[in-house]
Amino acid sequence: MSAFPEGPSDSGSVAERTRRVYEEPLRGLHERLAHHGARVHGYRLDWRPPGSPHGATHCVEIPLLLGSAHAWRHAPMLGTLPWAEVDAAGRGVRAAWASFARTGDPGALTAPLVALPC
């Protein structure tokens, strides 16, 4: 996946470790919750701003949700992306989170969010 820059590691690629540590356990949790009648929604954020040395790093969603151009002006994880594009990408994330908080349903997801099968 382009969201995960590949490189040498002790336990496989970053994408492989991400799947093993996060996606697989969450898929199991989703299945168990759904089996017991819960409404389950899942998404992945594969957002890698151009020029970012970090890829789809932990906490990259925070500037999509909170802050301002001034607050994030020195954040390497945002790479060279102009703030207007960060804010535009964040609109869909904010809308999904707000919808989920209001109704329990995130609604239709837009980029940079990718719906996971639940």
Report if residue 47 sits inside a domain. yes
Higher pLDDT, 88 or 8: 88
Higher pLDDT, 117 or 70: 70
pLDDT for 38-61, tens place per residue? 999 999 898 999 999 988 888 999
* Lowest mean per-residue pLDDT among 46-55, 61-70, 91-100: 46-55
Total of domains in the chain: 1
* Residue span of the structural domain in which 67 resides: 40-115
Exposed e or buried b for every residue in 56-91, given b needs 16+ CB within 10 A? bbeebbebbeebeeeeeeebebbeebebeebeebbe
Mean pLDDT of 75-82: 95
pLDDT for 23-37, tens place per residue? 899 999 999 999 999
pTM score of the predicted model? 0.78
Report if residue 60 sits inside a domain. yes
Residue 3: per-residue pLDDT: 52
Report if residue 8 sits inside a domain. no
Report if residue 101 sits inside a domain. yes
Report if residue 83 sits inside a domain. yes
Report if residue 63 sits inside a domain. yes
Residue 11: per-residue pLDDT: 56
Residue 104: per-residue pLDDT: 95
Report if residue 24 sits inside a domain. no
Assess contact for 36 and 81: CB atoms under 8 A: no
Residue 2 has pLDDT above 60, yes or no: no
Residue 36: per-residue pLDDT: 97
